[in-house]
Amino acid sequence: MSRRITWEDASCPIARAADVLAEPWTLLILRNATAGTTRFEDFRAQLGIADNVLTTRLAKLVERGLLTKLPYRDGGRTRHEYRLTKAGSDALPVLHALGAWGDAHTSSASAYGPMKLVHTKCGALTRPGEKCDVCGKPLVRDDLAWRGSWLTEGEIPLAEPVG
């Protein structure tokens, strides 16, 4: 089921961003890509998403420039993996804001606690922003990881964008 309207040419930047990011599954695919998921089978297994929906969403994210599709060899077959682009990695503050909102205003019976942001330079938990709450150093993507997430109990370094 697709939307009847598009906001891609709207004057409002929130509307244009919603046109790209607000489709069902899109933010979860970006979350997992940010955590390092690259292969179709892994997205499908981690998200429990139907093949046709995942195929459509991945194609749209490639078309919109948030992911890029790269070939790899799997035995005798050529398959593709999906990697974050600069535009996809720039969605990180949106994911952090949604995670913070979800922690504050929703609850879960999951065994995992809320997703936390770790400043790997000092090892401290911090909040999204320009600098670490503990050491005061600038928060740079390469120095961040997620902890206590949906995938593992350990820390998940953030995937590097390609291109």
List pLDDT tens digits, range 45-58.
Answer: 999 999 999 999 99
β-strand pairing of 77-84 with 67-74: antiparallel
- What is the model's pLDDT at position 35? 92
The verdict on pTM exceeding 0.85 is yes
Tens digit of each residue's pLDDT (9 = 90 or more) over 92-110: 999 988 888 888 898 877 7
